A and B are shown apart, each in its own frame.
Chain A
């Protein structure tokens, strides 16, 4: 149960989504400001569908998704105030890195100098100042990742959704980005939902971890007790834990 409901950013209430034969069944959880929640699951468990539903791209059959008290599916896409980072980064290929990062600010009609200053400040944090005038196609995977993350964080949205964002990166780059993400999200008080199939990533990056198996959320526990929590047999198998011995 949330200790500080006033800081709650995201709330899912019995969300059920159907896509073809697949069913995301009665998902409920909440995320507070500054908190990172990782959802672990195998490929095909419904992780991306869950994120798309939270972002409002997929409409639930039942249940509701609230972002800061507002039903996401009743809010126009451009007013949802949610950051989303796709697995393939989805950078705008016809814009430079700087234009990608500053896109949201430009839409808010901020003065050009202010946009430049804020983009450079964010780029400085992510160590990408020297690539700001380059186009996404000329950047490495790690650089694209940093640009996409900087773009998603630029608007300081209260909610950030990350779809397996670090899966294509080498371990050193990944560790650096974990640190950076925690630091920036803590500073911006941004609630983060991250979906991944990597146990280590989930434990290293998040405050709480949920396990999603075959469209059903088996529970959410503090990250440091991921392997000690009283999971059901299937979840224990997924986590690679010994079956519980029956007395």
Chain B
């Protein structure tokens, strides 16, 4: 017979089952139905184009993202300057904004005379593939800064002080102590950001729209397929995104586990 104290774990267990059913059923639908549609859809040039553009733009935007995020996170965690808190708030705010709002602001920014000037100089953004990369970059940058900052904060500051007293300049401390010590955390951050870039839709839709075989990413492909009542193609693209996300998650988890094991000896 269940005691009076047994009700709480039971209720939590039932709610957990409900939550898992809610999330899991969605994953199951994509996995089961998408897998069936995949072989036929992979032969379609639209799906292959979307996959290619998504992977290419995610790779470029992720590289640019960390090129900016790592120095930004370093500055925010290592330098005392007026307005640091304000800078952190701006980044946090951007992270919590709906991405469609970010897309709208980018659309206004790049439709301005400055944006048109940029187009004349050979770098079109609005309704162009460059815009896909830029949208992914702006959406993911605050997230990447946060991940980098967390990784940097996880390194014992004394190690950098010791390196400094041994003669390491700030750049040498960064490259010989800080980066190697948070290498695994940064690699898993890169994977997570890349995976998010692959699934970015709201800001991209606002800035470049979704044009078949021009600015069509995998999420855009799902949107277009559903709009044209081609559910099989939508499910196939969704399945591709599911597989890529799952692989990213597994790799990131494996890397962070390796990092934890090594840190026991640190």
Residues of chain A lying within 8 A (CB to CB) of residue B163: 92, 103
Kindly supply a per-residue 1/0 record for chain B positions 160-183, scoring 1 wherever the CB is within 8 Å of any chain A CB and 0 otherwise. Answer: 011111111110100011001100
Contact status B167-A84, CB under 8 Å: no
Interface size on B, residues (CB 8 A): 23
Contacts of A43 in B (CB 8 A): none
Partner of A55, one of B165, B167, B170: B165
Q: Are A151 and B166 CB-contacts (below 8 A) given A92-B159, A136-B265? A: yes
Residues in A with CB closer than 8 Å to B158 are: 86, 88, 90
Complex-state Cα separation, A107 to B161, whole angstroms: 15
The answer, yes or no, to whether A57 is at the interface (CB within 8 Å) is yes
Q: Is A245 an interface residue (CB 8 A)?
A: no
A5 within 8 A of B: no
Q: Give the interface centre of B156, B162, B166 by most chain A CB atoms within 10 Å.
A: B166
Annotate A77-113 by CB proximity to B: 1 below 8 A, 0 otherwise: 1111011101010101110000000011001100000
B82 close to A (CB within 8 Å): no
> In the complex, which residues of chain A have a beta carbon less than 8 angstroms from the beta carbon of B162?
84, 86, 90, 92
B266 within 8 A of A: yes
Residue A138 lies at the interface, judged by CB distance under 8 Å to chain B: yes
Measured CA separation A61–B51 after assembly (Å):
60
B264 close to A (CB within 8 Å): yes
Residues from chain A with Cβ under 8 Å of B177 in the complex = 92
Contact residues in A for B265 (Cβ distance below 8 Å): 93, 135-138
Task: Give Cα A93 to B158, complex, Å.
Answer: 12
Contact pattern, B 75-111, Cβ under 8 Å of A = 1, otherwise 0? 0000000000000000000000000000000000000
List of B residues within 8 angstroms of A136 by Cβ: 265-266
Decide if A78 touches B167 in the complex (CB within 8 Å). yes
Q: Does A129 contact B (CB under 8 A)?
A: no
Q: Which one of A76, A92, A104 has the greatest number of beta carbons of chain B within 10 Å?
A: A92
A137 touches B167 (CB 8 A): no
Check if A180 is an interface residue, CB within 8 A of chain B.
no
The reply to whether A77 and B181 contact each other, CB–CB distance below 8 Å, is no
B contact face: mostly helix, strand, loop, or mixed = helix
Type the 1/0 row for A105-143, where 1 means its CB is closer than 8 Å to any CB of B: 001100000000000000000000000000111100000
Which residues of the other chain, A, contact B262 by a CB distance below 8 angstroms?
93, 137
Assembly CA distance A57 to B162 (angstroms):
11
Task: Please give, as numbers and ranges, the residues of chain A lying within 8 Å of B176 by CB-CB distance.
Answer: 103
B242 CB to nearest chain A CB (Å): 36
Contact B264 A103 (CB under 8 A): no
* Complex: chain B residue closest to A106, CB-CB: B176
Q: Is the CB–CB distance between A104 and B167 below 8 Å? A: yes
Q: By the criterion CB–CB under 8 Å, are A104 and B266 in contact?
A: no
Residue A155, interface by CB 8 Å: yes
CB distance from A55 to the nearest CB of B (A): 7
A78 pairs with B161, CB closer than 8 A: no
> Using Cβ atoms and an 8 Å threshold, which residues of chain A touch B181?
92-94
* Whole-angstrom CA separation of A104 from B156 in the bound complex: 19
Q: B165's contact among A83, A135, A137, A138, by CB below 8 Å, is which?
A: A83
- Considering the chains assembled together, what is the distance between the CA atoms of A107 and B168 in angstroms? 7
Residue pair A77, B165 in contact (C-beta under 8 Å): yes
Cβ contacts A to B, 15 pairs, < 8 Å: A55-B165, A77-B161, A78-B165, A78-B170, A82-B165, A84-B161, A90-B162, A92-B159, A93-B265, A94-B180, A103-B168, A103-B176, A104-B167, A107-B172, A136-B266
Contacts A79-B167, A93-B263, A136-B265 aside, 17 further interface pairs with beta carbons under 8 A come to: A55-B161, A78-B170, A83-B165, A84-B161, A90-B156, A90-B162, A92-B159, A92-B162, A93-B262, A103-B163, A104-B167, A136-B266, A137-B262, A137-B264, A137-B265, A137-B266, A151-B166
Question: Lowest 7 A-B CB distances belong to which pairs?
Answer: A137-B265, A93-B266, A77-B164, A104-B166, A107-B167, A90-B158, A94-B180
A contact set with B: CB distance below 8 Å: 55, 57, 76-80, 82-84, 86, 88, 90, 92-94, 103-104, 107-108, 135-138, 151, 155
